[in-house]
A and B are shown apart, each in its own frame.
Chain A
Amino acid sequence: MTAPALPASLVENPRLDRWIAFQPDRTVRIATGKVEIGQGVVTAIGQIAADELDLPLDRVAVLSGSTTYGPDELYTTSSLSIMVSGGSVRLVCAEVRAKALERAALRLNCSPDDLTVADGQFLQNGQATGQDYWTVAGEIDLSQAVTGSVKPKPAASYKLVGQSVPRIDLPAKVSGAAYLHDVLPADVLHARTLRQPSRGATLAALDEAAIRRAAKGELQIVREANFVAFVSPVESVAEAAAAAAPQHVKWNNVRRIEPAAQEAAWLKGQPAEDRRLGAPEPATKPKRLVEITVSRPYVAHASMGPSCALAEFRDGNLSVRSHGQGMHPLRKNLSVALGLPIERITADHLHGPGCYGHNGADDAALDASLIAMKIPGRCIRLQWRREEEFGFEPVGPAMLVTLHVDLDERGRPADWTTEIWSATHVQRPGGGSGYLLATEALANPPPEVKPTDPPVERGGGGTRNAIPLYDVPAHRILHHLVQRPPVRTSALRGLGALPNVYAVESMMDELASRAGEDPVAYRLSILSEPRARKLIELVAQRSNWKARGPAGTGKGLGIGFARYKNSAAYAAVVASVTVSESVAVDRVWCVADAGLVVNPDGARNQLEGGIIQALSWTLKEQVKLDSEGIASRDWDSYPILRFSEVPDIHAELVDGAGNPSLGVGECSVGPTAAAVGNAVAYALGVRIHDMPLSRERIMAALLKV
């Protein structure tokens, strides 16, 4: 038997010792390049390793995001951690377990098959042999490359995988210091920045004396070209300097923005790179064309804690601590930005507030490093201010999606075109797609990158979930990749999935209503995927769909469904809403199929979190712009869903143990938005196409009824 193809992470990091180390305290260190961002990955990776090695969970220490010891697995994105990193850890552990048993068998003069493992000890006929992982560890050459030739255990034998093991990182987080933000070395210097207002803006004048007066304390002002930072042993002094600085600076060449650019409608007609994907143009003219256009505005990651980083430059070496989503990429990007050889840089991940995509965390690491290089020998703690976090993190791009669907004589889609206008969803630093923010302020800023969209086979960006899972004979995508959005855009949980699923599922309801059919029945009539059908049937049952009552009463149920990226987890959602002047979501039912689930409670937690975040985006959120950039720079101008607005949520995973694990972190967002959109349309008798479904839009829609 030839071994199956190795996961990408193992191809890139073949040495076993990048993944596993036996430690003297009778624990095993498992390293992963994926990092904890509140999704429970550290616990889940621990579960996988413990099962494969026959260890209890407390003998497994998971090290995540270390450039010194751990593998390079790029960024923690796209719900891939369990599939890719988990799959890699499983193969590595299976192989190392086999190697260890081989060594022990040699010592014991028996066959490896005679041995079993319990709590890391090797038993023969159930009796202790005196041998264990740690006695033979020295004889295993972990510098060898993984071969993938040892078959991992069958799923039926798992003891921890599939169990709702409590998160190992949570106890610290409810009792005190737990985050990068909480690390405060004794002689630390606090730093804040004055942000360049836009790419190309140049510093004309800075009244340092006035800033010093406002700071009221010991202050160092660090300047390099158009990068400015305030540094002080007292945090509030650095903070006061940064707060005062915008009144004491003059910039030239600040980019001006049209306020209309904050709306998705602005995208149409902007210079764009146009692509056509999928089926060729139909030969005949459409006969029964149905069109629908939906939109979503710019949306913020809006992490609860602002971006932060620690950096220290000592004896020519830079050590950085960050809560970014990938430490190896960060190290490479810092090396390029600072002109420092990569061997002189280490980057270590420490936990941070949830980020939900590419926010300011990486940028803060460069800010801290630039300052550290100017003040060698001191640890710099750089933190963004709240308004900086809102004002300068990359935001999720606005999207406009038009569906042109031609129907057959039975009212089923015969030909389907998804037309998308969006700025890029991928500007993560490195790899030619983006760079760290402060590089724009340095003497030789990198050239503007050409916007890109990931290939559809890899899940796409603006095109993510543009292709419906329903049976559609011919489908194509027209993608207009808008070249120059008013603000920096990048990855936000689900990328284009939310607006695209909103569009597809709105269309489904429209088509059902034209056909005079129930939306659930209509969907099932054009959906042959068995796993998908099962979820739709189940969520209809759970929500008592049959009893949903008449339309236009101000109350309604709506359904949404998608398989995330058409390759990760499936989710079907029903929302129950009450609409008066605004939308209240009363209940949400979600059923998902994520294949083999490593930690069911953790996965449910992800489903619930995705539902609430999607409700917040759908009902409330829009980044507001003024002529200089992002104007919504606090929680009053950027409100998110509150406790009093959160519905009752029933999230459930179907038993998918026979199937491989599918990423679950982002699967509920699109279907949730769609379910709410459809529920509101049913409750009102009129559809609202543009998100957020705000009070103004409801009032406007009611006038049309």
Chain B
Amino acid sequence: MDIAFKVNGEARQVGVPQTASLLEVLRNHLGLMGTRYGCGLEQCGCCMVLVDGEPAYACTREVGTVAGRNVTTIEGLGSQAKPHPLQQAFLDEQAGQCGYCLSGILISAKALLDRTPNPTRAEVVAALDKHLCRCGAHQRILRAVERAAVKLRNAPVGARRAT
């Protein structure tokens, strides 16, 4: 039986077992490589996606549980040509070194700003604390999320919900 769900607003169907990990389906079946494998253990956050707007570890999430739901990956935020304000803010702050952790972090930041458009530093830290970054880009990442928050608050209402 195919499993049907929406990814980045588009209806998709995959013929895989219910128990297949969402991460493997996104990467190997749907070609969305921005969601990354780091540990497979819910310990690093590299694989973070949104399921109906809530952050979820794709590495352990069985794809059967997202049937009929909306999944958002980093590709759903924006592209190199048309970056989301969060992605742009990360570029403006040069927030990253190797960058491997960034797509998961951007996803958690998106969930935070959707719910809390004007977060305190402590709220940003709390939202990102499940993410690891080995390169030590933390400071820049925090600044980038705050920069994006300002930009998004000042953006016209329609542009704010760019997913």
- For B102, the chain A residues whose CB sits under 8 A away are 173-174
Q: Would you list which residues of chain A between 520 and 573 have a CB under 8 Å from chain B?
A: none
B39 and A644 form a contact (CB under 8 A): no
CA distance A621 to B128 in the complex (A): 21
A305 and B24 form a contact (CB under 8 A): no
A386 and B41 form a contact (CB under 8 A): yes
Is the CB of B21 closer than 8 A to any CB of chain A?
Answer: yes
Which residue of chain A has its CB nearest to the CB of B20? A236
CB-based A-B contact count at 8 angstroms: 170
Measured CB to CB, the closest approach of chain A to B54, in angstroms, equals: 19
Measured CB to CB, the closest approach of chain A to B137, in angstroms, equals: 7
Is the CB of A184 closer than 8 A to any CB of chain B?
Answer: yes
Binary contact track A38-61/B, C-beta < 8 Å → 1, others 0: 111000000000000000000000
Binary contact track B117-159/A, C-beta < 8 Å → 1, others 0: 0000000011011011111111111100000000000000000
B34 and A177 form a contact (CB under 8 A): yes
Select A38's contact among B28, B40, B98, B132, beta carbons within 8 Å: B98
B99 and A386 form a contact (CB under 8 A): no
CA distance A634 to B77 in the complex (A): 30
Measured CB to CB, the closest approach of chain A to B77, in angstroms, equals: 8
- For B131, the chain A residues whose CB sits under 8 A away are 643
Is the CB of B11 closer than 8 A to any CB of chain A?
Answer: no
A176 and B98 form a contact (CB under 8 A): no
A174 and B94 form a contact (CB under 8 A): no
CA distance A236 to B98 in the complex (A): 26
Q: Would you list which residues of chain A between 148 and 180 have a CB under 8 Å from chain B?
A: 164, 166-167, 169-179
A176 and B39 form a contact (CB under 8 A): no
Q: Would you list which residues of chain B between 95 and 120 have a CB under 8 Å from chain A?
A: 96-103, 106
Is the CB of B83 closer than 8 A to any CB of chain A?
Answer: yes
B24 and A236 form a contact (CB under 8 A): yes
Measured CB to CB, the closest approach of chain B to A376, in angstroms, equals: 23
B39 and A39 form a contact (CB under 8 A): no
Which residue of chain B has its CB nearest to the CB of A36? B98
Is the CB of A664 closer than 8 A to any CB of chain B?
Answer: no
Select B98's contact among A234, A306, A352, A601, beta carbons within 8 Å: A352
B41 and A235 form a contact (CB under 8 A): no
Select A613's contact among B34, B103, B134, beta carbons within 8 Å: B134
Is the CB of B64 closer than 8 A to any CB of chain A?
Answer: no
Which residue of chain A has its CB nearest to the CB of B78? A175
A646 and B100 form a contact (CB under 8 A): no
Q: A175-B75, A176-B79, A356-B134 are in contact. Are A304 and B97 (CB under 8 A)?
A: no
Select A649's contact among B43, B90, B139, beta carbons within 8 Å: B139
Is the CB of A354 closer than 8 A to any CB of chain B?
Answer: yes
Stretch at the interface among A104-112, A263-271, A602-610: A602-610
CA distance A176 to B79 in the complex (A): 8
Binary contact track B1-41/A, C-beta < 8 Å → 1, others 0: 00000000000000000001100100110011110111111
30 intermolecular pairs with C-beta atoms under 8 Å apart: A166-B94, A170-B90, A170-B91, A170-B94, A170-B96, A170-B99, A173-B96, A174-B91, A174-B102, A174-B103, A177-B34, A181-B33, A181-B36, A182-B33, A303-B134, A304-B38, A304-B44, A304-B135, A305-B36, A353-B98, A354-B97, A386-B41, A606-B97, A608-B140, A634-B41, A635-B41, A635-B43, A643-B125, A643-B131, A646-B136
